[in-house]
């Protein structure tokens, strides 16, 4: 449909709207997705979702570069988020190595 943009709700659903989301709304949605990943993704499941999570982190950084005035409600600092990602990556690789032995 022409002129229809997804509008996300925090219950995991979306609907259509006639205007695109604002940068703040996009950041809030990305932060919500990342918070859910942090709380619910085990190292075993991380490998399947790492590309999506990395993409969310990249888009988050891009939004801040383009719109530095955005309000951040993320539960982790950017440094802690990067550390969490790298730790999960290492843990998932360690588990994969253990399973292959």
Q: How many domains does the chain have?
A: 1
End-to-end CA distance of the chain: 51
Question: Does 48 reside within a domain?
Answer: yes
Q: Could you list the pLDDT tens digit for every one of the 101 residues in the chain?
A: 456 666 666 566 666 777 888 999 899 989 989 999 999 999 989 989 999 999 999 999 999 999 999 999 998 999 999 999 999 999 998 888 877 76
Specify the pTM. Answer: 0.81
Helix (H) or strand (E) holding 6: strand 5-8
CA distance 19 to 48: 33
Q: Which domain holds residue 72?
A: 21-100
Question: Which tokens go with 23?
Answer: 């940068």
- Name, in order, each residue with C-beta under 8 angstroms of 76's C-beta and a sequence gap of 6 or more: 38, 84
Question: Does 14 reside within a domain?
Answer: no
Question: Which tokens go with 4?
Answer: 């229809």
CA distance 64 to 46: 25
């Amino acid at each position: 449909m022409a002129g229809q943009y997804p509008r996300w709700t925090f219950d995991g659903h979306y609907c259509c709207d006639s205007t695109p989301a604002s940068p703040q709304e996009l950041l809030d949605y990305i932060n919500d997705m990342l918070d859910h990943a942090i709380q619910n993704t085990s190292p075993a499941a991380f490998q399947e979702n790492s590309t999506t999570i990395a993409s969310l982190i990249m888009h988050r950084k891009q939004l801040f570069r383009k719109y530095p005035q955005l309000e951040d409600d993320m539960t982790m600092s950017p440094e802690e988020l990067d550390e969490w990602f790298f730790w999960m990556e290492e843990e998932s690789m360690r588990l994969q190595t253990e399973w292959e032995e």
